[in-house]
Amino acid sequence: MKPSVITIEPNGHFCSDCAVRASAVCSSLDPAELREFEHLGRRVHFSSGETVFSEEDITTSFYNVLEGVMRLYKLLPDGRRQIVGFALPGDFLGMNLSGRHNFSADAIGAVTVCQFAKAPFGRFIEDRPQLLRRINELAIRELGQARDHMVLLGRRSADEKLAAFLLGWRERLLALKAPSDTVPLPMSRQDIADYLGLTIETVSRTFTKLERHGAIEIIHGGISLLDPARVEALAAA
């Protein structure tokens, strides 16, 4: 939310040894293309709570998340907030039709992104259909996630919402880190509430309830999944 103090790394970064090389949009590029692509992106750091872009801002850049977690959200005029997703390394942000962002994005903890100016990136895509195809794949994947989330928001109880969230979040982290029954939760309870369409109090009570039932243990900065099967049963599919 503070004005963002941007650090632009001068040089010394190569796509070829980028952490998200294999999973991000750039996975569609061959080594030669990658060297050209390298000149388009700049690594930019954001610290905890900084806003990377805001809803309704004119889109000047696209972003590839390299490190950290971001919250993506929309606000109603009266301040109610709905988090529409959390972005993790490999996620590509900024695509839209209107020329304006249709949600806001903040860093949760320290974040590094690879930032591309819109125009040169657009030109680069122009004659690289396989990059376009990759972007399309990511969009379709997100659309699937969005639909799953609609089911959660519209048809699940508070218990089911939290259980499904914990499992889904663990699942996403699995693609990035070694599997573990310890699930780090870098976002606040309020973030979780705004993601699940609940209040912070309900989220807190539901955590406590899951813990009392022996399904999880609340630890510092996350939870420990004591009884994954039980949490899965609670998530009801």
Q: For the CA atoms of the chain, what is the radius of gyration?
A: 19
Part in contact with a copy of itself (CB under 8 A); list of ranges 46-54, 77-85, 173-181, 223-231? 77-85
Nearest approach, Cβ of 85 to a copy of itself (angstroms)? Answer: 8
Q: What are phi and psi of 55, to 5 degrees?
A: -55, 140
Contact 69, 88 (CB under 8 A): yes
Q: Which residue has the tokens 């569609």?
A: 28
203 touches, from DNA, a copy of itself, none (C-beta below 5 to 8 Å by class): DNA
Nearest approach, Cβ of 57 to DNA (angstroms)? Answer: 23
Contact 185, 169 (CB under 8 A): yes
- 150 vs 219 by CB, closer to a copy of itself: 150
110 touches, from a copy of itself, DNA, none (C-beta below 5 to 8 Å by class): none
Nearest approach, Cβ of 8 to a copy of itself (angstroms)? Answer: 28
148 touches, from DNA, a copy of itself, none (C-beta below 5 to 8 Å by class): a copy of itself
- 13 vs 213 by CB, closer to DNA: 213
Q: What are phi and psi of 63, to 5 degrees?
A: -135, 140
Q: Is 96 in the site for a copy of itself (CB under 8 A)?
A: yes
Task: Identify the residue among 78, 178, 179, 229 touching a copy of itself (CB under 8 A).
Answer: 78
Task: Identify the residue among 155, 188, 208, 214 touching a copy of itself (CB under 8 A).
Answer: 155
Contact 189, 203 (CB under 8 A): yes
Part in contact with a copy of itself (CB under 8 A); list of ranges 25-33, 38-46, 79-87, 209-217? 79-87
Give 139-152 as a DSSP string: HHHHHHHHHHHHHH
Residue 129 in 3-state DSSP? helix
- Provide the mask over 218-237, with x wherever binding to a copy of itself is found by CB under 8 A and - wherever it is not: ------------------xx
List the one residue out of 14, 96, 21 whose CA is nearest residue 60.
96
Distance of CA 170 to the CA centre of its chain: 13
List the one residue out of 163, 147, 154, 148 whose CA is nearest residue 229.
163
Helical pair 158-174 and 228-235, crossing angle rounded to 10 deg: 120
Binding site for a copy of itself (CB under 8 A): 74, 76-78, 80-82, 84, 95-97, 102-103, 129, 132-133, 135-137, 139-144, 146-151, 153-156, 194, 196-197, 236-237
